Chains A and B, each alone.
Chain A
Amino acid sequence: FFQYCLSGHPTLPCNVLKFKSTTIMLDCGLDMTSTLNFLPLPLVQSPRLSKLPGWVLKDGSMFLDKELKECSGHVFVDSVPEFCLPETELLDLSTVDVILISNYHCMMALPYITEYTGFTGTVYATEPTVQIGRLLMEELVNSIERVPKAQSASMWKNKEVQRLLPAPLKDAVEVSMWRKCYTMPEVNAALSKIQLVGYSQKIELFGAVQVTPLSSGYALGSSNWIIQSHYEKVSYVSGSSLLTTHPQPMDQASLKNSDVLILTGLTQIPTANPDGMVGEFCSNLAMTVRNGGNVLVPCYPSGVIYDLLECLYQYIDSAGLSNVPFYFISPVANSSLEFSQIFAEWLCHNKQTKVYLPEPPFPHAELIQTNKLKHYPSIHGDFSNDFKQPCVVFTGHPSLRFGDVVHFMELWGKSSLNTVIFTEPDFSYLDALAPYQPLAMKCVYCPIDTRLNFIQVSKLLKEVQPLHVVCPEQYTQPPPTQSHRTDLMIDCQPPAMSYRRAEVLTLPYKRRYEKIEIMPDLADSLVPLEIKPGISLATVSAVLYTKDNKHVLQLPPKPPQPPASKKRKRVSDDVPECKSLKPLLSGSIPMDQFVQTLEKHGFSDVKVEDTAKGHIVLLQEAETLIQLEEDSTHIICDNDEPLRVKLRDLVLKFLQKF
């Protein structure tokens, strides 16, 4: 039982579990924070970005000035943005049997794994996870591919060179592992390996292990996973939420009785209250628009945006924003809005009830109908005709490095009337803004992360009581910037085992039992014997069949009746074939009864002598001696097989067989 940790990012995990005879990958997160080191990809040629000066080494050497540009004291790589992949060297990924996906944010590295490692297994995920995951990948590929960049910088990655660079480039980890974005054919190939599953569906893996997704309450179709055999249970908790937003609530009860609970994907902003943040978001938005400014909301095309639109739906009339246009710009905006309405079964109770009426579960259907919310695939085309200011724009990517958001940053950055409101918690907003500095526009940081915070975690752990907790090392100490906040870490007994990237953990439990089935005819043949009150036992001699990791016990086949010929009778001529299957014995032999029995069976000259530990029974005529002690019996006789067998059977009458 091992856990291989392939990702160092606590909310974008990638672990491999060796459980019984299976190799299971848990999530396939892609660390995109690496893109913050790159210059943004502008949709429209940006004079500002193209005029940035090349970076020059302290000693004046200029060989990197084509690859690295400087902006307001920060150095950026001028190249197609690259992502930090999960570790691929720690174990042979072609041996992975299955990949379990917990939510659509944690599957972004899937094409790298399924298409480049010789992976031949199956991926399991819920239908919303796959559909929305596909949209996220489509948007990602689209926003990078539509801005072809001639340059692909690699010189700076040389270890000797990287050492000379300023932070954070100098400290960037595993730069040699950074990869360019995958393509749509790779996405399609990866997604075709996914098998759809539903909550509480039990999926058998090779007869040895059962995996089950459970609702995790964080996003549409998001799941935690139970990985169990008959005797061991590992719970994988990744990206869970106890807040009531749109998804089905988290299933906590099924996590009980876990031997090991792997805990990842906690909130990235443990100090912020999501409800408060939503309030701040609305008031900042309203204030900016009232002052004639535009609002830019960098976001993913699915997830929190549904909740934001629902809040705005209730808010805009009372805030007098009815005439302000809301634009949602993404190549997958339409699909995302449509898909959100068809996953009734994956929604919270209130939304499900609406579908029964039948009404669309999300109010953004009405915002679209009344023309308050408009969606466009990109800033080109229809949007440029309809575009009216002041307005509110929702668009990606939250890293501000690619997607339509780059255009709006360039367009609105110079005016202090405008505001950019950060709601997605995945990227540091200051780092995201760095290549746009100096900026006049207002920046508001309202990160909304509905995932579990540490108070909720400790409540959860008290509730489900796992024997052991395993988590990323980041969760076992306070955040580096708030080292005094010891409440911002996992506190449990025994202390959580922590892991970091490229580490292998041995999970602390040992199997002792396995399930086996006894066939009915064998069961019929068993003779139970009550040994102690309430405890019975039966000796079982049977044939063990093992197929597909399932064990079955059957009646041993009857030995073929030896033909009555003389030759076959001398069974002892044949060397005994298999090791005998004689039971163990227990009990003791009562002296007097034993002697009586002997006499009954025709031994008339029984003589008994006492010894230090028991007795010796002498059968004088037969020249045979039986030593009886508390826990042993020794029959010493001449080579007279019938006599020996007879005595054996008399002794066995007094003993219990095991």
Chain B
Amino acid sequence: GAGQDVGRSCILVSIAGKNVMLDCGMHMGYNDDRRFPDFSYITQNGRLTDFLDCVIISHFHLDHCGALPYFSEMVGYDGPIYMTHPTKAICPILLEDYRKITVDKKGETNFFTSQMIKDCMKKVVAVHLHQTVQVDEELEIKAYYAGHVLGAAMFQIKVGCESVVYTGDYNMTPDRHLGAAWLDKCRPDLLITESTYATTIRDSKRCRERDFLKKVHETVERGGKVLIPVFALGRAQELCILLETFWERMNLKAPIYFSTGLTEKANHYYKLFITWTNQKIRKTFVQRNMFEFKHIKAFDRAFADNPGPMVVFATPGMLHAGQSLQIFRKWAGNEKNMVIMPGYCVQGTVGHKILSGQRKLEMEGRQILEVKMQVEYMSFSAHADAKGIMQLIRQAEPRNVLLVHGEAKKMEFLKQKIEQEFHVSCFMPANGETTTILTNPCIPVDISLGLLKRETAIGAAPDAKRPRLMHGTLLMKDNSFRLVSPEQALKELGLAEHQLRFTCRVHIQDPRKEHETVLRVYNHLKGVLKDYSVQHLPDGSITVESILIQATAHSEDQGTKVLLVSWTYQDEELGSYLTSLLKKGLPQSTP
């Protein structure tokens, strides 16, 4: 799911032999089989539990977790499901809400039950931000703050040196109640990012807020009613804080209502999980809790027919069902009224239709609804815009990028931009498509400290950071890799060293006495080999490092001296160099 599409987020990642499913969402635009991901892609026969190592849910929006009970209880999955604490707390409530609308109101059967939601949640393991969760010995996951909604997280999935980061939905600019998403420079092999607003660069938030308040204010002033379809948790709290402060400042009297029984509960979650909100709210919560609203009251269905102006927040956010749709039908005919869509609407929903300019809607029972009220769209969705997506890529420095959760056309544009700016491959697979990314993992081995230290000592050049050549032996035994010095390798394997030695005879014409010849050789070598240790030993021999030079008179020709140059295989270069040097003869002696 979520391939060149928004909704039904569900991505399968195979990394170093591990299979991880990212999100398990439903699609708002469909009411048939297509509303849930097709899990037969994972495995045709066999149990999902055997195939999947874990499931990760990024946040509580239904397009990211709506299919979870279906997946775990009806298709069948018993492995671990990871999500953050607030997601774990809020997710079951939204699922229950979804179930109620589908089963109780629309009368569908063959849907998951309340018990299934409960059983599904029992499989959930809650994670902290930045906690490294060891799923098994090799697979670890880590959550990062994503902003988007309370408890939203991005996840890093790591096996050995290979890693993937999945952003879920995120927001790069802090708002009135949440902070901004943040990733460290984790350099994943692949970054899977949402791209809802792939082409949008939003004007400053302040302008949007002012615009929103102005429109609400004008409508209320002329006695109109304002409908703001929202989801119970998320943007709703953001807009409530916005309106609450505005009402307070302007001393407005028109009532603001918030529909559904979820409200109070929702605000309570925000209160208890206040550590997940932004800095300012966290700092002041002891004095004043931002989620205790003075001007916003619970909505009753009867209020919709009250005369006079009012502002109503109603769920759900895309006008596809429930109370927001009911109120919309009541108010749509009056041009004094206004509906403000504060977020993205999936194709097929009433919200999407009116935003694309449709003014005559066919409702259930072939009834035609004429929309006379004003329709406004204001992007308050807490998604990153193009600038934000680029910023996150810059933060994480991935080697590859994969776009999901967006529209194909817009993705195409962003893909080009990413490839241009970052010179990394960018993919945008459609649903059902598989993208294969080659990684180039390095191999960690253990190096004996002795060897490492020795190499460091040899490289005692002024700059220890300079790369240096080193030589060692890699021992491979039962999957353990150890790099040790050759000496240690021999010792561990119980083998003796085989010494290979060379001795070369070099003939030199020199009529002087042997010890004088030796002295000349010594002086010559000392002059040429300035960086080497050249020594004249008492027994008359010369050493250059470990190379031994001895002189004897030629048995037949006293005017010729024979130099025996002896070295081991390990010193071959120097030994070979010395013989050729000596072969050229000695320089004329200086007095």
Q: Is the pair A641, B579 in contact by a Cβ cutoff of 8 Å?
A: yes
Point out the residues of chain A lying under 8 angstroms from B478, CB to CB. 534
Q: Is the pair A576, B286 in contact by a Cβ cutoff of 8 Å?
A: no
Give the CA-CA distance A572 to B487 in the complex, in Å: 29
Give the CA-CA distance A547 to B466 in the complex, in Å: 9
B506 at the interface (CB under 8 A from A): yes
Give the CA-CA distance A200 to B128 in the complex, in Å: 9
> Which residue of chain B lies nearest to A635 when distances are taken between CB atoms in the complex?
B502
Q: Is the pair A342, B500 in contact by a Cβ cutoff of 8 Å?
A: no
Min CB distance A591 to B, Å, is: 14
Q: Is the pair B448, A648 in contact by a Cβ cutoff of 8 Å?
A: no
Q: Is the pair A358, B269 in contact by a Cβ cutoff of 8 Å?
A: yes
Q: Is the pair B473, A538 in contact by a Cβ cutoff of 8 Å?
A: yes
Name A556's contact: one of B449, B452, B469 (CB within 8 Å).
B469
Give the CA-CA distance A352 to B272 in the complex, in Å: 11
Point out the residues of chain A lying under 8 angstroms from B255, CB to CB. none
Name B468's contact: one of A511, A543, A652 (CB within 8 Å).
A543
Point out the residues of chain A lying under 8 angstroms from B275, CB to CB. 127, 342-343, 345
**Within A170-229, which residues are at the interface with B (CB < 8 Å)?**
197-202, 212
B368 at the interface (CB under 8 A from A): no
Min CB distance A542 to B, Å, is: 6
Interface-lining segment among A282-290, A423-431, A488-496, A512-520: A512-520
A341 at the interface (CB under 8 A from B): yes
1/0 contact trace for B570-591 toward A, CB 8 Å?
Answer: 1111101101111100000000
Q: Is the pair A537, B473 in contact by a Cβ cutoff of 8 Å?
A: yes
Point out the residues of chain B lying under 8 angstroms from A531, CB to CB. 493
Point out the residues of chain A lying under 8 angstroms from B574, CB to CB. 576, 580
B187 at the interface (CB under 8 A from A): no
A344 at the interface (CB under 8 A from B): yes
Name B474's contact: one of A341, A538, A632 (CB within 8 Å).
A538
Take A537-B474, A583-B471, A644-B502 as given contacts and tell me if A520 and B570 are in contact as well, using a CB distance cutoff of 8 Å: no
Question: What is the total number of residues of chain B having a CB less than 8 Å from a CB of chain A?
Answer: 88
Point out the residues of chain A lying under 8 angstroms from B419, CB to CB. none
> Which residue of chain B lies nearest to A346 when distances are taken between CB atoms in the complex?
B128
Name A633's contact: one of B471, B499, B583 (CB within 8 Å).
B499
Take A537-B489, A581-B469, A648-B569 as given contacts and tell me if A575 and B268 are in contact as well, using a CB distance cutoff of 8 Å: no
Point out the residues of chain B lying under 8 angstroms from A537, CB to CB. 473-476, 489, 493
Give the CA-CA distance A523 to B576 in the complex, in Å: 31
> Which residue of chain B lies nearest to A589 when distances are taken between CB atoms in the complex?
B498
Take A584-B486, A634-B503 as given contacts and tell me if A345 and B577 are in contact as well, using a CB distance cutoff of 8 Å: no
Q: Is the pair A513, B503 in contact by a Cβ cutoff of 8 Å?
A: no
Give the CA-CA distance A2 to B286 in the complex, in Å: 43
Point out the residues of chain B lying under 8 angstroms from A588, CB to CB. 498
Point out the residues of chain B lying under 8 angstroms from A341, CB to CB. 272
Q: Is the pair B89, A356 in contact by a Cβ cutoff of 8 Å?
A: yes
1/0 contact trace for B470-513 toward A, CB 8 Å?
Answer: 11111111100011001101100101111111111111000000
B531 at the interface (CB under 8 A from A): yes
**Within A276-322, which residues are at the interface with B (CB < 8 Å)?**
none
Q: Is the pair A358, B286 in contact by a Cβ cutoff of 8 Å?
A: no
Q: Is the pair A198, B473 in contact by a Cβ cutoff of 8 Å?
A: no
A338 at the interface (CB under 8 A from B): yes
Q: Is the pair B452, A516 in contact by a Cβ cutoff of 8 Å?
A: yes
**Within B146-197, which residues are at the interface with A (CB < 8 Å)?**
161
Q: Is the pair B286, A638 in contact by a Cβ cutoff of 8 Å?
A: no
Q: Is the pair A344, B471 in contact by a Cβ cutoff of 8 Å?
A: no
Point out the residues of chain A lying under 8 angstroms from B89, CB to CB. 355-356, 358
Take A339-B286, A572-B580, A641-B576 as given contacts and tell me if A635 and B487 are in contact as well, using a CB distance cutoff of 8 Å: no
Point out the residues of chain A lying under 8 angstroms from B561, CB to CB. none
Q: Is the pair A514, B447 in contact by a Cβ cutoff of 8 Å?
A: yes
A540 at the interface (CB under 8 A from B): yes
Name A575's contact: one of B130, B467, B506, B531 (CB within 8 Å).
B531
A610 at the interface (CB under 8 A from B): no
Q: Is the pair A528, B476 in contact by a Cβ cutoff of 8 Å?
A: yes
Q: Is the pair B493, A532 in contact by a Cβ cutoff of 8 Å?
A: yes
Q: Is the pair A585, B498 in contact by a Cβ cutoff of 8 Å?
A: yes
> Which residue of chain B lies nearest to A341 when distances are taken between CB atoms in the complex?
B272
A481 at the interface (CB under 8 A from B): no
Q: Is the pair B274, A342 in contact by a Cβ cutoff of 8 Å?
A: yes
> Which residue of chain B lies nearest to A513 when distances are taken between CB atoms in the complex?
B446
Point out the residues of chain A lying under 8 angstroms from B440, CB to CB. 520
Q: Is the pair A632, B272 in contact by a Cβ cutoff of 8 Å?
A: no
**Within A99-123, which residues are at the interface with B (CB < 8 Å)?**
none
B133 at the interface (CB under 8 A from A): yes
Q: Is the pair B443, A517 in contact by a Cβ cutoff of 8 Å?
A: yes
Take A516-B452, A544-B467, A635-B503 as given contacts and tell me if A655 and B498 are in contact as well, using a CB distance cutoff of 8 Å: yes
Q: Is the pair A639, B469 in contact by a Cβ cutoff of 8 Å?
A: no
Point out the residues of chain B lying under 8 angstroms from A631, CB to CB. 496-499
Min CB distance B151 to A, Å, is: 10
Take A534-B477, A547-B465, A633-B498 as given contacts and tell me if A352 and B446 are in contact as well, using a CB distance cutoff of 8 Å: no
Name A516's contact: one of B483, B501, B502, B577 (CB within 8 Å).
B483
A545 at the interface (CB under 8 A from B): yes
Give the CA-CA distance A540 to B581 in the complex, in Å: 31
A637 at the interface (CB under 8 A from B): yes
Name B504's contact: one of A514, A519, A638 (CB within 8 Å).
A638
Specify which of B443, B496, B577 lies most central, judged by the most chain A CB atoms within 10 Å of its CB: B443
Take A342-B273, A513-B447, A651-B500 as given contacts and tell me if A641 and B580 are in contact as well, using a CB distance cutoff of 8 Å: yes
B464 at the interface (CB under 8 A from A): yes
Chain B contact surface mostly: mixed
Min CB distance B302 to A, Å, is: 28
Q: Is the pair A584, B504 in contact by a Cβ cutoff of 8 Å?
A: no
B42 at the interface (CB under 8 A from A): no
Name B572's contact: one of A338, A580, A633 (CB within 8 Å).
A580
Q: Is the pair B471, A581 in contact by a Cβ cutoff of 8 Å?
A: yes
Point out the residues of chain B lying under 8 angstroms from A579, CB to CB. 458
Give the CA-CA distance A523 to B529 in the complex, in Å: 37
B246 at the interface (CB under 8 A from A): no
Point out the residues of chain B lying under 8 angstroms from A630, CB to CB. 496
A455 at the interface (CB under 8 A from B): no
A415 at the interface (CB under 8 A from B): no
Min CB distance B161 to A, Å, is: 8
Min CB distance A262 to B, Å, is: 22
> Which residue of chain A lies nearest to B140 when distances are taken between CB atoms in the complex?
A202
Give the CA-CA distance A545 to B447 in the complex, in Å: 13
Point out the residues of chain B lying under 8 angstroms from A361, CB to CB. 272
Name A201's contact: one of B130, B458, B465, B489 (CB within 8 Å).
B130
**Within A351-401, which residues are at the interface with B (CB < 8 Å)?**
352, 355-356, 358, 360-361
**Within A611-658, which residues are at the interface with B (CB < 8 Å)?**
630-639, 641, 644, 648, 651-652, 655, 658
Point out the residues of chain B lying under 8 angstroms from A257, CB to CB. none
Give the CA-CA distance A336 to B7 in the complex, in Å: 42
> Which residue of chain B lies nearest to A510 when distances are taken between CB atoms in the complex?
B449
Name A551's contact: one of B285, B452, B573 (CB within 8 Å).
B452
Give the CA-CA distance A609 to B294 in the complex, in Å: 110
> Which residue of chain A lies nearest to B439 when distances are taken between CB atoms in the complex?
A520
Point out the residues of chain B lying under 8 angstroms from A541, CB to CB. 469-471
A587 at the interface (CB under 8 A from B): yes
B334 at the interface (CB under 8 A from A): no
Q: Which 10 residue pairs of A and B lie closest in terms of their CB atoms, listed nearest first?
A: A658-B486, A584-B486, A198-B128, A632-B499, A516-B447, A201-B130, A356-B89, A581-B471, A636-B503, A634-B501
Q: A516-B447, A538-B476 are in contact. List 13 more A-B contacts (CB 8 A).
A: A198-B128, A355-B89, A516-B444, A540-B474, A541-B470, A544-B455, A547-B465, A556-B469, A587-B498, A631-B497, A631-B499, A637-B505, A641-B580
A/B interface sample: 18 pairs, CB < 8 A: A212-B132, A231-B446, A512-B448, A513-B447, A515-B444, A523-B442, A531-B493, A537-B493, A542-B470, A543-B468, A546-B465, A580-B570, A580-B574, A635-B503, A641-B580, A655-B500, A658-B486, A658-B489
Chain B residues near A (Cβ < 8 Å): 85, 88-89, 126, 128-133, 161, 265, 268-269, 271-275, 285-286, 440-450, 452, 455-456, 458-459, 464-465, 467-478, 482-483, 486-487, 489-490, 493, 495-507, 528-529, 531, 565, 569-574, 576-577, 579-583
